[in-house]
Structure 1
Amino acid sequence: MPNSKPEKPDERVKASKSAAKETASAFLTPLEPSQELAAIVGAAPLPRPEVVSKVWDYIKKHKLQNPQNKREIMADEKLQAVFGGKNKASMFEMNKHLAQHLK
């Protein structure tokens, strides 16, 4: 058995904080929207949270939430292009579709 010193708790905390910081910075990296998504959020690169926020602003502005089921989004022409031609999508599916339109 090799003689290795166990990691100190402080070292583990530092390592986990730096990993969290890298993940957060990757999450906030501006991404370029596809042409279809740019019709909704604009062509400038944006961090993923801002894209989601702008899409929700668009959905609310155009009253595209199903009034009986607020988790369902009724797509207009612009959103259909982002949703792969689907007429509606759940709010959970929306993020999957958005990911396909961000580089």
Structure 2
Amino acid sequence: MPSTDEQVAQQHDYIGELDRSLIDLVVRRSEAAAELASLCRRLGSPGVELARENAVLRLYHSALGRSGTSLALLLLGLGRPESRPAGEEKAHK
């Protein structure tokens, strides 16, 4: 059986893996949202659908409570081209 220190180190490693996975998913979600917004604008539709954003907010709130709402707002913001770091939006034009 691993020592307590080894268990702590393993748990830190596991959390680090989860963090890297979450970052990857957030980047992928942001890129997909930016691409969708760009597509909608090219088709003459609004780039943002408030009803869909509200559904996302409700989903995250339902699953995670008040903090989930905050997380959803951050995710929604990251999907907007004006919120992306310079140079990253060029792939979505």
For normalisation by structure 2, the TM-score amounts to 0.39
Q: Which structure: greater strand fraction?
A: 1
Of structures 1 and 2, the larger Rg is shown by 1
Q: Per residue, is there more helix in 1 or in 2?
A: 2
TM-score by length of 1: 0.36
